[in-house]
Amino acid sequence: MELYELTVHELQERLTRREISSEEIVKSLFTRINNVEDKVKSFITLTEEIALQKAREVDRAGHYNSIAGIPMGLKDIFCTRGVKTTCGSKMLANFIPEYDSTASRRLDEMQGVLVGKLNMDEFAMGSSTENSAFFATHNPWDLERVPGGSSGGSAAAVAAGEVPFALGTDTGGSIRQPASFCGVVGMKPTYGRVSRWGVIAYASSLDQVGVFSKDVLDSALIMNIIAGHDPLDSTSAAIEVPDYISYLDGNVKGLRIAYPKEYFGQGVDAAIKESINKALHKYEELGAIVEEVSLPHSEYALPAYYLVAPAEASANLARFDGVRYGHRDFEAENVIDMFSHSRAQGFGDEVKRRIMLGAYALSSGYYDAYYLKALKVRRLIANDFDKVFRDFDVIVSPTTPTTAFKLGEQCGDPLTLYMNDILTVPVNMAGLPGISIPCGFKNGLPIGMQLIGKAFNEGTLFKAAYGFEQNTTYHTMKPELGVK
Amino acid sequence: MALNMKEVEHVALLARLSLSDDEKKIFGEQLSSILNYADTLNALATDDVEPLTHVLPAFNVFRVDSIRPSMQQKEMLTNAPLAEEGQYKVPKIM
């Protein structure tokens, strides 16, 4: 087994046993990155010097607790002091933050080693990472295909063995969908579970920070570090964080699992449905109770999302005006032109589309018809989940309707691309936790299973996910990539 | 719901985005198609439904009003496209 193939907990064991040093791990990962990065293109920025320096510091101190000395990647949406943070946009191509996001600072304080900042759809808007202003990332399982998005760089880097784990963000599926496409574990916690401070905002009532990892144990381990209240984020919940690892007993006996019939409808690939059905049988075999339920408003979640999220984006992205940071048009002669030109030059098409859509939905005369209507539908969606969770512990569904599609295939009509998120968006609308874990393959491409839990009940999700993982081998499969 | 040229121009103005005529045409078509999709929400009766703005119970969060370190002017200005004498510089407003 090469070092780059190991999980966080496996690396941790070797460090604790003094079999390897952090410096050796970091050097070997950079060899791996050098071997595969021109194919996968996960990283916008690599921080080799900083990483080696930190690794040597950890080795000198010699305390390998938690993630000390273990490499990590961050989606380029997390502000990192002194390290360029672009958000995948020309607008922030040269932006170097003066502070760290809370989530990345917590990892940094546990002595995790940052190896680089990962590619993403511009301002987290997209489902393929093709909306990055810099370049597209390629799916390690098939380089002609997308890794998903918006956290595509994070998913691809973990799948390709470039980092053992990475952080991403999920507003409508941006962790779970790329995790599914790349065959890794993607955890999107409950809204408010992880601080959003220092994370560049897209849609503030939906955005949540989460984890990409190679297995469920690593996901729980990282959540133990990043979850919890932060006084700097007034929407972060002051609710106690349990030890997530304590939920990993592999026992799903008596667990009440629901599968919503609406998530197995037309448009969901037959091979994916079959995979999820097999997984449900597996759960039954393991002693869980599995029943069909209905989430009747499911089909309305996506159209409601594409009003709520753009509305919030149009407000959040108003700050990019060329005054305090970011791209500025220096030719403009008056300040209004400077705003409009700077924004026109700095933003890509999808970002412009969503800003305009949001501005329209919030504008006088249309607010009630669109924005308010969407918020009411959001209530109905949340009520659907509440009802099911009175009788069940976990909801299981496919993560995505299809496996990874080809680069360029869905670039034409924005609506086609939006449909990718049809099974993940409802979870954000209700603020619930969701995790995607590998559960099969179709023609060599990974299939993901989504598990949805009650608010602030990530523990039960981890329990259910771990129970499946420990009785299957999908998470041990690795893409070839044609290099050792 | 189809957006006409005037509406596209109005929304671009609200969004502070300068667009070429070609862009106005393409964005207009795309926004119309997304809004058509959004119109499917009208199939639901929502008169008696309370809007859900935020999934967590929303309340004001207060902190003690005490002096604490904040970012320095020099640091704040490091990313400024244009600054002079400790201030952001922009084109003439008046």
> Helix, strand, coil shares of chain B as percentages rounded to 5?
40, 5, 55
CATH of the domain at A224: 3.90.1300.10
Instruction: List CB contacts (< 8 A) between B46 and chain A.
Output: 373, 376-377, 380
C-alpha dihedral sign at A236, A240, A244, A245? positive
Do the Cβ atoms of B44 and A323 come within 8 Å?
no
In-domain check, residue A288: no
The verdict on a CB contact (< 8 Å) between A334 and B82 is no
Question: Hey, are the CB atoms on B49 and A363 less than 8 Å from each other?
Answer: no
Q: Which of A235, A324, A334 sits opposite B88 (nearest CB)?
A: A324
Could you tell me which chain A residue has the CA closest to the CA of B47?
A: A376
Tell me, what's the ipTM? 0.95
CA distance B2 to chain A (A): 12
Q: What ranges do the domains of chain B cover?
A: 1-40
**Do B44 and A377 make contact, defined as CB atoms within 8 angstroms?**
yes
B42 DSSP assignment: G
Give residue B62's pLDDT.
85
User: Would you state the structure tokens that stand for residue B27, as one six-digit string?
Assistant: 């964005």
Q: What is the pLDDT of residues A184-199, one digit of tens each?
A: 999 999 999 999 999 9
| pLDDT tens digit sequence for A381-435 | 999 999 999 999 999 999 999 999 999 998 777 888 888 899 999 999 999 999 9
The more confident residue out of A436 and B54 is: A436
d(CA A146, CA A140): 9
User: Does the distance separating the beta carbons of A375 and B34 come in below 8 Å?
Assistant: no
Using left for φ > 0, alpha for ψ between -120 and 50, and beta otherwise, residue A327 falls in beta
In a domain, A456, yes or no: yes
Residue A365, in any domain of the structure = no
Q: Is residue A40 part of a domain?
A: yes
Q: Which residues have a Cβ under 8 Å from the Cβ of A248 and sit 6 or more positions away?
A: A216, A217, A220, A462, A463, A466
Q: Using one digit for the tens of pLDDT, what is the confidence trace for A193-245? A: 999 999 999 999 999 999 999 999 999 999 999 999 999 999 999 999 999 99
Euclidean distance between the first and the last CA atom of chain A, given in angstroms as a whole number: 11
Whether A75 is catalytic is yes
Q: What's the gap in Å between the CA of B67 and the closest CA on chain A?
A: 15
pLDDT (average), residues B31-58: 93
- Owning domain of residue A471: 3-258+389-476
Calpha distance B56→A370 (Å, rounded): 22
- Choose among A307, A363, A376: nearest Cβ to B11: A363
Whether B17 contacts A360, CB under 8 Å: no
Average pLDDT taken over every residue of chain A: 97
Determine, yes or no, domain membership for A293: no
| pLDDT beyond 60 at B80 | yes
Q: How many domains does chain A have?
A: 1
CATH topology of domain B1-40: Histone, subunit A (1.10.20)
A150 assigned to active site:
yes
Write out pLDDT tens, residues A296-311.
999 999 999 999 999 9
Residue entry with tokens 């091979």:
A271
Find residues 27-86 of chain B whose CB sits inside 8 Å of chain A.
Answer: 27, 30-31, 33-35, 37-38, 40-44, 46, 49-56, 61, 63, 71, 75-76, 78-82
Residue A96 exposure: Cα atoms within 13 Å on the Cβ side: 7
Contacts of A326 in chain B (CB under 8 A): 79, 81
CA distances (Å), origin A124, targets A86, A186, A335:
11, 16, 28
Confidence (pLDDT) at B1: 65
Question: Closest to A378 (Cβ–Cβ): which among B34, B52, B82?
Answer: B52
| Pick from A181, A264, A143, A154: nearest CA to A446 | A181
- Give A196 to chain B, closest Cα distance, Å: 15
**For residue A207, what pLDDT is reported?**
98
